[in-house]
């Protein structure tokens, strides 16, 4: 299957990274390599790009797509481990990092990966096929309250308790093995009049995918670690696709900026506030209407940028 992935907010990301020709840059979510190719086009011969991805299929595609560029290192790993990855490569600091969070178009379109609620495929949803935890394990072994909490917190699904209850009832008879089985359980759990706003399984599938790939819990520390490994005036650009991710990134940026909490009438700071840099985007950058019309999956995208001082 062709690895198709339209890079979201491409110009905005490249502008946001403020690329130096001889700098070292990290694409922590290499994917279809659209953003990476644009970064490489801005780099000179002494510049370097590090491409990280959990998905070996993505890495293999990127190696082929970027084969004319000699200044790329490919790493099968997780951007959450950015410090360890750079240490292994003998690199202390970099000039920019890009994270394009969430699932790629290829992973969604490749129904065999089990990310999509369309079709009938095995429940998987792993970005890294080497890991043990799958969507099938989550829906068949997690306790009812645990499932309800995940579906509510990660999917913002108001019928989470009913969905979790029906999952547990269903699996008493047989194991839930396919995406189609799970979709039918979800559809049964949501009143028909409430199923008009998009596909009824969308939020639950998102929640289970986030749990399988541990997408939210490490995000605060990941942002902190990324800022720590930036050179002075280095930029961190992060694209999110739902409110949970965006909120986590926004809060991490605010904390890193280190806003003083002292009363304004004090002549100097006594709260011990330390700043790691400044937030470039006071409000997130969103795709233009033209981009949204060309690429429907860009509609929920938000870009936030931080600069190390």
Q: What is the pLDDT of residues 26-62, one digit of tens each?
A: 999 998 999 999 999 999 999 999 999 999 988 999 9
Q: Which whole-number Å values give the CA distances from 295 to 3, 169, 208, 289, 291, in the listed order?
A: 16, 39, 24, 10, 6
Q: Which whole-number Å values give the CA distances from 87 to 55, 93, 124, 154, 278, in the listed order?
A: 21, 10, 32, 32, 25
Structure tokens at 209: 């995918």
Domain with CATH 3.40.50.150 in the chain: 10-102+216-308
pLDDT of residue 122: 95
Range 72-84 average pLDDT? 97
Structure tokens at 21: 């020709």
Q: Domain 111-213 maps to which CATH number in 1.10.150.20, 3.30.460.10, 1.20.120.160, 1.10.150.170?
A: 1.10.150.170
Q: Is the pLDDT of residue 3 over 70?
A: no
Q: Is the pLDDT of residue 65 over 60?
A: yes
Domain with CATH 1.10.150.170 in the chain: 111-213
The DSSP symbol for 7 reads P
Q: What is the pTM of this model?
A: 0.90
Range 137-141 average pLDDT? 98
Q: What is the pLDDT of residues 187-229, one digit of tens each?
A: 999 998 888 778 999 999 999 999 999 999 999 999 999 999 9
Q: Which whole-number Å values give the CA distances from 211 to 33, 90, 199, in the listed order?
A: 25, 32, 20
- pLDDT tier at 5 (50, 70, 90 boundaries)? low
Q: Domain 10-102+216-308 maps to which CATH number in 3.40.50.150, 3.30.450.40, 3.30.2090.10, 1.20.120.140?
A: 3.40.50.150
């Amino acid at each position: 299957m062709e690895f198709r992935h339209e890079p979201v907010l491409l110009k905005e990301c490249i502008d946001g990274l403020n690329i130096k020709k001889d700098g070292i840059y990290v694409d922590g979510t290499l994917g279809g390599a659209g953003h990476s190719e644009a970064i490489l086009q801005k780099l000179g011969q002494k510049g370097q790009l590090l491409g990280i991805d959990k998905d070996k299929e993505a890495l293999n595609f990127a190696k082929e797509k970027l084969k004319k560029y000699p200044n790329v290192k490919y790493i099968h790993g997780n951007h959450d481990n950015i410090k360890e990855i750079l240490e292994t490569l003998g690199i202390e600091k970099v000039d920019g990092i890009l994270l394009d969070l969430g699932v790629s178009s290829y992973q969604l379109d490749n129904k065999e990966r089990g990310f999509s609620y369309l079709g009938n495929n095995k429940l998987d949803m792993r970005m890294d096929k080497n890991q043990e935890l799958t969507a099938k394990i989550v829906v068949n072994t997690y306790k009812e309250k645990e499932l309800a909490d995940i579906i509510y917190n990660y999917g913002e699904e108001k019928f989470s308790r009913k969905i979790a209850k029906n999952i547990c009832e269903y699996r008493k008879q047989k194991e839930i093995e396919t995406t189609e089985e799970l979709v039918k359980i979800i559809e049964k759990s949501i009143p028909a009049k409430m199923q008009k706003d998009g596909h009824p399984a969308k939020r639950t599938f998102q929640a289970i995918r986030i749990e399988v790939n541990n997408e939210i819990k490490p995000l605060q520390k990941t942002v902190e670690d990324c800022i720590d490994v930036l050179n002075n005036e280095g930029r961190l650009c992060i694209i999110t696709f739902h409110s949970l991710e965006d909120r986590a990134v926004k809060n991490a940026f605010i904390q890193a900026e280190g806003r003083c909490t002292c009363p304004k009438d004090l002549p100097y700071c006594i709260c011990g506030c330390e700043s790691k840099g400044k937030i470039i985007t006071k409000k997130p950058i969103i795709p233009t209407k033209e981009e949204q019309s060309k690429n429907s999956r860009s509609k929920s995208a938000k870009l936030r940028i931080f600069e190390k001082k």
